Amino acid sequence: MDHDERAEHGLARLFSRSAVWLVGVGGGPMPPETYAESIYKAETEEVLRGLAQGAAAVVIGRAAPFVLGSRPDTLHVRLDGPVEARIRQAMAALNLAEAEARRSQRETDAARKAYVRHFYSGDWADPRMYQLMIDSTVLSIDCCADLVLLAAAERLGVRRTSSA
């Protein structure tokens, strides 16, 4: 399995082509791709936790809600919308033909679902994993950004100044 939602070549492919077998927990053989996946997962989680310790970070994907959980210093946001609207939005924003936009939507959704199920046995679409869900097909990007900033300020207890 490729680790990145869009990766053409993953670390697992490199290891799976080698003849190296490592001993896993319990003394049994561990196939190289399993070892590579466990390293990838651990390193990804370490990076995410490090980012969460910093001043501010935006993480797109990587199952961050599953890694960082309900930490009070994080805000988990899901931008979504009806499939047909997302396809039209991709066609307009990325200048894609309809067939390409449909293919991209199917592949992206399937990859995200598979990534979370593979590493976390969860559902990436579970609304309980997010504090904010926005239908980004009916709101402008600027509006979505404003909503995320407002929710982040609220979540982090940052006092906002009035511009009025």
Computed from CA positions of residues 101, 120, 122, 63, in that sequence, does the dihedral angle turn out positive or negative?
negative
Instruction: Catalogue the long-range contacts made by 152-156 (C-beta closer than 8 Å, 24 or more residues apart).
Output: 152/75, 155/72, 155/73, 155/74, 155/75, 155/131, 156/73, 156/75
Higher pLDDT, 31 or 20: 31
Alpha carbons 144 and 137: distance in angstroms, whole number: 10
Tokens for 41, please give them.
């997962």
Model confidence pLDDT, tens digit, residues 1-14: 455 544 433 434 33
Name the one residue in this structure whose structure tokens are 């370490």: 46
> Phi and psi at residue 133, in whole multiples of 5°?
-125, 130
Alpha carbons 34 and 15: distance in angstroms, whole number: 9
Contact 139, 86 (CB under 8 A): no
For residue 147, give Cα distances in angstroms to 71, 78, 136: 20, 12, 11
Map residue 128 onto helix, strand or coil.
Answer: helix
Tell which residue, 154, 133, 130, 160, has the closest CA to residue 144. 133
Model confidence pLDDT, tens digit, residues 65-121: 999 987 888 999 999 999 999 999 999 999 999 999 999 999 999 999 999 999 998
Model confidence pLDDT, tens digit, residues 124-148: 899 999 999 999 999 999 999 999 9
